A and B are shown apart, each in its own frame.
Chain A
C-alpha cells in the first residue's frame, strides 16, 4: 500500500479531502481552530479557493469555514481523496 500523502491545507486543491494529522500553532490561534473543528482526525474538504489563494473555504464537521493562509499553512493532514 502507498504511504499516505501529507499535505498542508493551504496547498489543497478544490475537492480534496484531507484528514488532519497536526495543527502547528499555539495559544489562542490553536484554541480557535480546535473550536472550529480543525482537530486531529477530522476530515476537511477544500470547498473554494479564491484567485489569490487567500482565504480558502473548508468544509469541516458540517460547516463551511474560511481560513487565512497563515492558519491553513500550519495545518497538515493526509490526502484521503483528490475528489476527482
Chain B
C-alpha cells in the first residue's frame, strides 16, 4: 500500500521499546516472523495524518554485531529489511551506555530518530539533557519522551512523518577511525559498493568485513550473490 511505512524500534534491553510500541499501536498489533527467522517480532500500526506507520518492535540488545541471535535479527532487519525510519530508544538515566548502540545504528542506516525515554525518571534524578546539542552532534532528530506517561508522542510522530516526506533530512554522524582503518576502507569500499549498490551503507559493510564479520559475509552472499556463483 502506498501510504504505509515501516518503522523499526531498536534499543538496549529494558529501555521501554515495548511500552512505546504498545502505547502507540494500542490494539492494532500482531506478531510475525520475518524472512523465516525463528525470533518473532511484534508489529502494529499507527495511523498518522494521511499515512500508516507499521511499527516493528525489535529485540533489545546492547550491540548489533551479531554476537547473538537477537543481535543478528535486529541488525538484519535494520540493514536488509530497510525500514523507512529506525527509532533508537534510549534510557535517559544511562545515556553513556545507551549511546553505544545509537552510534552503531547511525553507521548502518540514514533515517534515524533518537528517542530519549524515561525522561520523567531522569528529571526525578536531576539529570538534565540538552537534546539540541545531541541533535547537532548526532546529525539526526533527538526527542525526549516518556513512553509510560505518553509524553512527547505528537512531536515524535510528526518527526517521523517529516523524515518520510523529506522535510527533515538526516545526516547521521559517522565515526572516524584510525588512519590505517580509514585507508583500508578506501581500498575495499568501491568493490563493496559494486556489490550492494546504494541499498546498504558500503562504508558500514566495509567496516564489518575488515572486522572479520563472517555472519554478515554469509548474509551478503545469500542476498546479493546469484545462486550459481556462490
Contacts and interface: CB of A to CB of B under 8 A. Distances in A.
B94 interface: yes
Interface of A: 27-28, 31-32, 35-37, 61-63
B59 to A, nearest CB: 15
A35 B63 contact: yes
Contacts, number: 25
Given A61-B96, A63-B97, 20 more contacts: A28-B67, A31-B63, A31-B65, A31-B67, A32-B63, A32-B67, A35-B62, A35-B63, A35-B100, A36-B62, A37-B96, A37-B97, A37-B100, A61-B94, A61-B97, A62-B93, A62-B94, A62-B96, A62-B97, A63-B94
10 contacts: A28-B67, A31-B65, A31-B67, A35-B62, A36-B62, A37-B97, A61-B94, A61-B96, A62-B93, A62-B97
B215 to A, nearest CB: 10
Query: Which are the 10 A-B pairs with shortest beta-carbon distances?
Result: A35-B63, A62-B94, A61-B97, A35-B62, A32-B67, A61-B96, A31-B65, A37-B97, A28-B67, A36-B62
B226 to A, nearest CB: 30
